Amino acid sequence: MKFTCVKWGALPVVVLMAGGMALAQDQSGSQSSGQSQSSPAPAAQPATAAKPDPSIAQRKENQQDRIANGVKSGQLTAGETANLETKEAAINGETKADRAANGGKLTAAEKAKVNKQQNNLSKQIYTDKHNANTAHYGNNKVGQRRENQQDRIAQGIKSGQLTAGETAKLENQQNGINQQVSADRRANGGKLTTAEKKQVNHEQNQASKNIHQKKHNGATQAAAKKP
């Protein structure tokens, strides 16, 4: 009988403890639920406008810098530069057309194609800068004028004032003058007559005006450097 009383006497304590635990769990769950309901939902991130692939623009700028350095150093002749810039202008034109057709973006296939074209052009820049052809200006007035024009063109490429297409036209003009001078020298034992010098000077005056006009016409490289 004593054992029975102790057994049943402990029952209310057990029930009381179980009820307390249940109450604590219920309060905890209520607090958790309340916090979940009161926490604000994360704000939606605003959509950002699509931007041109920076790798394409950077690649283009790097190519122009390499060409400008080659023109400045004399490693690239006017003819080589005209050829390189004609190809660069074609790549730029194709890229622009592709972007216009795709809402300002390039597809993965188009990006791969541009990258391949730039790889080929990069190899040609290296080859042209390291072949035996160099721009020899000479220590005479004709040679100095020629060097000054190339320096101005190189500066325009470097600054972004001259586009690839503009540079190609200017260098084609310089190449034509250079070929004429070379032919005249061969015909006169390495010298130029007074009339020939006057003619070359007149042509360089016209070329100088073209360089100035193209550097200040508002047309610039899409990835031009800021001064």
Lookup: tokens for 199: 């003619």
95 in a domain, yes or no?
yes
Q: What is the pLDDT of residue 139?
A: 86
For 164-215, write each residue's pLDDT tens digit: 999 999 999 999 999 999 999 999 999 999 999 999 999 999 999 999 999 9
Global model pTM greater than 0.75: no
Count of domains in the chain?
1
Taking CA atoms, 13 is separated from 2, 16, 24, 91, in Å, by 18, 5, 17, 88
For 19-45, write each residue's pLDDT tens digit: 454 444 544 444 444 444 445 555 555
130 in a domain, yes or no?
yes
48 in a domain, yes or no?
no
30 in a domain, yes or no?
no
In 3D space, the residue among 62, 63, 73, 227 whose CA is nearest the CA of residue 150 turns out to be 73
44 in a domain, yes or no?
no
Phi then psi dihedrals of residue 8, to 5 deg: -75, -25
Listed in sequence order, the residues at least 6 apart from 128 whose beta carbon sits closer than 8 Å to its beta carbon are 70, 75, 76, 80, 83, 84
For 87-121, write each residue's pLDDT tens digit: 999 999 999 999 999 999 999 999 999 999 999 99
29 in a domain, yes or no?
no
Which residue range is the domain that position 190 belongs to?
Answer: 54-215
189 in a domain, yes or no?
yes
33 Rama sector, left if φ>0, alpha if ψ -120 to 50, beta otherwise: alpha
138 in a domain, yes or no?
yes
